[in-house]
Structure 1
């Protein structure tokens, strides 16, 4: 079968490997759709998971996927061949350091259990839509960490796939006042289409000015603040995050879900004086959020069409990667697999 693996910095290949067989507690999923994540692009560019230690063996990639159960190993209960499922990659680090990756014709899922590593798809839900459960649950986990409620005024930093997923899940949670920031007009257009109340180009209006205009402003201990209740960092820009922390109000909450590659100097006096809460969110243990995302997708209450910008057959892998690397063109790029192959 085909399997996408990273062999070194900038070196990703479609390798031919044996189709896996299920061992005890395992199932084999025939992959139908797999999204390309920013972390996949990072692994390829760095040539490893963290960009520090060289690879000891090729790194399988792909962790946003759905497909059909093709084989079931001994000791697996309640899962039958032919079941349509989305895969939660957390338990076995699928596509993130484990031996298996979702950019493949078949995937081995260990510790196979419905409601944990596998989620049955609601009737009529497409595989491509089901593959969105992974990024949507990443965003939902960040919102849970930040204790977001329907009445909160929320600012999302970055309108890439996770920022757009945050907009979707904020709508799912009943939040109406969502402002999102980016520099790419196409991304901002997608955010508006997905339900953001305001989508601001920071090249045209700085975030502090926009939030003061939209959420109100004031002063505390001689320093300005804006009325935003929750900030969700999906951009990974230290300068942008520091700017927003500098205007955070009393008891504002901040969730950092983006990858930051450099340390950030913080004004700890302001953090203390305003009782600001900052929490990281890695979403590597989120079966509850994953299941909630699947249920939301099954309801079809929110049109997610603007989130998937491109679909490519796996045979056009290089073209798909090139598109995913272009933020002006791409949101979520979805690989699809010929189920008859």
Structure 2
């Protein structure tokens, strides 16, 4: 079979690998689509992930159909369409340092258990949309860390795939008004399409002033006044200006979820922040959300489909990886396999 691997710093190749042998408790999945994540670009740039430095299989956002089922496996059948939990693989995280990658023709699920390693999705869901299951689980975890309540107000910084997924998740949980902040016009336009109630171009507008206009003013508390009555803040952008803006504008009792990766330290004045009683929650991965989000993805697949900007065939996987790693060139790139 074919599989995409990091072979050296800055280099990837489609290589030949043995097709996995299916044991009595295993399931073989023919991969039909796999999304490209920003972390894939990082793995490529550094030459892979130890201990597989220079030989790391890529792809951790896979969807496919079952090609073979071990004799002892129950609840699954050949032809079932499935999404996978990359974190649960017995031989390491799929596409993130494990022995297998989702940008392959096949992935073997050892000791497969329905609901733990994979779940089925209806056949009418396009594979390129089903491949959003993993990144949307990340977005859902970030939303869950906010503990959103119906009727609240929220702002999401960053209109990339995770930010857009968070918008959908917040609206599905009954958040009354969601604002999205970004600097790229087409991303702001897409945010409105997936369900955002308003957008702010932070390159041209004062974010705090616009939030005051949109959400009103929060009650005075310990001398804090003139703050937007925004309940929830979510950082899916990963730039210092987001942290600075939230800490300077957060109302008393607001909640702040950070799912973005900040590559440089950000200074925080906890003394000035004390009276806000701001709750700051970090969000990493998807401890419980990998298949919780699947129901939402299936029920609202046409809305989630808007997140996919580019679909390329496996023969153009190198172009797909380059496109995904080029700032501003694409939103979510998905590679499809026949």
1:25 Cα shift?
3.7
Deviations along 1:142-188, one digit per CA (max 9) or x if unpaired, are: 11111012212111011111111111212222223111111111111
Match runs of 1:123-272 below 5 Å? 123-217=123-217, 220-223=221-224, 224-272=226-274
- Structure 2 CA distance, aligned partners of 1:222 and 1:186? 39
Q: Distance in 2 between matches of 1:290 and 1:284?
A: 6
Shift of 1:127: 1.4
Q: Deviations along 1:195-241, whole A, 9 cap, x unmatched?
A: 11112111011322221221223554444522111111111112322
Deviates most, 91-100 or 207-216: 207-216
The C-alpha deviation readout for 1:62-121, integer Å capped at 9, x for no partner, is 111111111234643322222211112111311111111101111122342111210111
Q: Which moved more, 1:17-26 or 1:245-254?
A: 17-26
**Structure 1 residues 185 and 5: CA distance shift in structure 2, 3 A:** same
| Range that drifts further, 77-86 or 193-202 | 77-86
Quick one: distance in 2 between partners of 1:164 and 1:131? Answer: 15
1:30 corresponding residue in structure 2:
30
Please give the alpha-carbon distance, in whole angstroms, between the structure 1 residues aligned to 2:109 and 2:279. Answer: 37
Residue number in structure 2 paired with 1:320: 320
Structure 1: gaps of 5 or more residues: none
Whether 1:76 and 2:78 are equivalent positions in the alignment is no
For residues 212 and 54 of structure 1, do their structure 2 counterparts lie closer, same or farther at Cα, with a shift above 3 Å needed? farther
Query: Structure 1 301/77 Cα, relative in aligned 2: closer, same or farther at 3 Å?
Result: closer
Deviation at 1:29, TM superposition (A): 0.6
Distance of 1:125 and 1:306 partners within structure 2: 13
Please report how far the alpha carbon of residue 299 of structure 1 lies from its aligned counterpart in structure 2 after TM superposition.
2.0
Q: Is the 8 A contact 2:30 2:105 kept in 1?
A: yes
Q: Mind listing any 5+ residue stretches in structure 2 that lack a counterpart?
A: none
| 301 and 12 in structure 1: CA distance in 2 versus 1, 3 angstrom threshold | closer
SS, match of residue 113 in structure 2:
coil
* Alignment correspondent of 2:57: 60
- Paired with 1:257 and 1:296, the residues of 2 have a C-alpha distance of 20
Say which is worse superposed, 133-142 or 308-317, in terms of deviation.
Answer: 133-142
Give, in angstroms, the shift of residue 329 of structure 1.
3.6
CA 1:258–1:74 in structure 2 vs 1: closer, same or farther (change >3 Å)?
Answer: farther
Q: Is the 8 A contact 2:12 2:318 kept in 1?
A: no
CA distance in 1, matches of 2:73, 2:145: 33
The TM-score, its normalising length taken from structure 1, stands at 0.91
Q: Work out whether residues 47 and 54 of structure 1, in 8 Å CA contact, stay in contact via their aligned partners in 2.
A: no
Deviation at 1:26, TM superposition (A): 2.8
Q: Whole-Å Cα distance in 2 between the matches of residues 164 and 335 of structure 1?
A: 20
User: TM-score of the superposition, structure 2-length normalised?
Assistant: 0.91
Distance 1:107 1:117, change over 3 A: same
Give yes or no for contact 1:28–1:109 (8 Å, CA) kept in 2: yes
Taking the aligned partners of 2:199 and 2:10, their CA distance within structure 1 comes to 33
Secondary structure in structure 2 of the residue aligned to 1:278: strand
Contact 1:125 1:297 in 2 (8 A): no
| 1:57 to partner: Cα distance | 4.7
CA contact (8 A) 2:3 2:105 kept: yes
* Cα distance, 1:57–1:318 mapped onto 2, change above 3 Å: closer
* Residue matched to 1:7: 7
